[in-house]
Structure 1
Amino acid sequence: MMGLILSNLDVFEHGLLVSLELSGFTFALASLLGVVLAVCRISPVIPLRMLSRTYVGTLRSVPLLVLLILFVFGLPEVGLVYSLFWTAVTAMSLYWAAFFCEVVRSGVRAVPKGQIEAGRAIGLTFGQVLRFVVFPQSLRSVVQPLASLLIAVTLNSSLAAAVGVTQELTGQTQLLDQQYAQPLVTFGAAAACYVALTLLIGQTAARLERRLVVQR
């Protein structure tokens, strides 16, 4: 059992690295789009609010695996062909941006209205109020929700294996299982890797949250 794992450590390491890259790129892109969507959601411009609300409501209503399949098989039909890895990153980023938007919006709503009114009273524009007043304060209340979102992104990156991204951890584990027919051992090792990543993210978020509390 241990011999199987030790003799294939390089396979697990490669799969884990690709999973980290997949999750990292997805979270970074989803963060950028999510912030834009959140700004639109709280914007005084009604069309922007409606557009953002529609996007969030639609994407949150579609299973991630369905979206991945639509992108992998649909993009080539319209002439957009690039690697499965980046196709998965694109689909997952668009999906998780909707959830990131709601996390940011909840943090914004946690900022006392008096702070926003004070910013407006001293002549700050809408963008300046967000940049200098709202976002710095909301960051303290969204650390744990964002950590939970990152954990969800990391764990659900395994769905990429279902659409052909076999380089990531779950895909590599499936290939090992086909070779050795030892699902309990191979997938048990993969599960241990995911648990380790989850614990690491949780501990990092807790440490960051404590630091932000001290700085208040």
Structure 2
Amino acid sequence: MYLTNIMLDPERLERWITIAQSSLLPLLKGALYYTIPLTLISFTIGLFIAVLTALARISGVAPLKMVARVYVSIIRGTPLLVQLFIIFYGLPSIGVTIDPFPAAVIGFSLNVGAYASEIIRAAILSIPKGQWEAAYSIGMSYPQALKRIVLPQASRVSIPPLSNSFISLVKDTSLASLILVAEMFRRAQEIAATNYEFLLLYAQAGAIYWIICFGLSLVQGRIENRLDRYVAK
């Protein structure tokens, strides 16, 4: 009914079109300068953390396994929003103040690291033990076997779920608006606060998120097809 009334009201429709046009560039700037960099930086750091955590989980060193397990349990067992609030709003109470963007990077990286570590750990464990034994039989050490034999195969197995994690991270970056990062959704909130067209601005931001994620899904599909052809050979 609300949209129908707008369609029947030429002045309101014209106002919507004007606001949508004027807000498009600020929203795109928010995506370009904050949403996309935040996603790329956080995922890269998180992937590094994930590999180290996965290796710790499968190692024979009990303290490392325990630390990695506790880290994964805490991150996976608490909401991402709570983690961001602790880093940005909670740490200043003990004298540790972090700017919004670095705080968001830390929060998202730790979150990605915990979830992606389980993906990587499962991928490593999916490699047949015969691969390890073959590597040892030709004189490779554990690090050499891991680097040259196991990880390349595990990476092909883990790429599809890691791609899904990357796409999810694009959407999760909207939570950074709550710790004052001027990413795309924060820009939408700021603009909507001046003209009170919350439905229009939030829908416009959602459409941009969808376009970004749809493009990434197409890239993911092409990568998976290439991997399938590689495995088939």
TM-score for the superposition, normalised by structure 2: 0.88
2:77 aligned counterpart, secondary structure: coil
> C-alpha displacement at 1:46, in angstroms?
2.0
Aligned partners of 2:185, 2:215: CA distance in 1, in Å?
Answer: 19
CA contact under 8 A between 1:140 and 1:213: conserved in structure 2?
A: no
- The reply on whether 1:158 has 2:169 as its aligned counterpart is no
1:60 aligned counterpart, secondary structure: helix
- The reply on whether 1:203 has 2:218 as its aligned counterpart is yes
> C-alpha displacement at 1:132, in angstroms?
0.8
Alignment partner, residue 175 of structure 1 = 190
| Larger CA deviation: 45-54 vs 96-105 | 45-54
> C-alpha displacement at 1:43, in angstroms?
1.1
Alignment partner, residue 99 of structure 1 = 115
| Larger CA deviation: 198-207 vs 57-66 | 198-207
Which consecutive unaligned segments of at least 5 residues does structure 2 have? 1-15
Q: Alignment partner for residue 136 of structure 1, among 128, 131, 152?
A: 152
Question: 1:7-60: per-residue Cα shift (whole Å, max 9, x none)?
Answer: 122211111111111111111110111111011111122221121111111111
CA contact under 8 A between 1:158 and 1:168: conserved in structure 2?
A: yes
Alignment partner, residue 41 of structure 2 = 25
Aligned partners of 2:218, 2:158: CA distance in 1, in Å?
Answer: 15
- The reply on whether 1:85 has 2:101 as its aligned counterpart is yes
- The reply on whether 1:66 has 2:82 as its aligned counterpart is yes
> C-alpha displacement at 1:137, in angstroms?
0.6
Aligned partners of 1:39, 1:149: CA distance in 2, in Å?
Answer: 19
Tell me the matched-pair count: 215
Letter in 1 for 2:166: L
1:142 aligned counterpart, secondary structure: helix
Aligned partners of 2:179, 2:22: CA distance in 1, in Å?
Answer: 27
Letter in 2 for 1:151: I
| Larger CA deviation: 22-31 vs 121-130 | 121-130
Question: 1:97-138: per-residue Cα shift (whole Å, max 9, x none)?
Answer: 100101111111221221122112222222111111111111
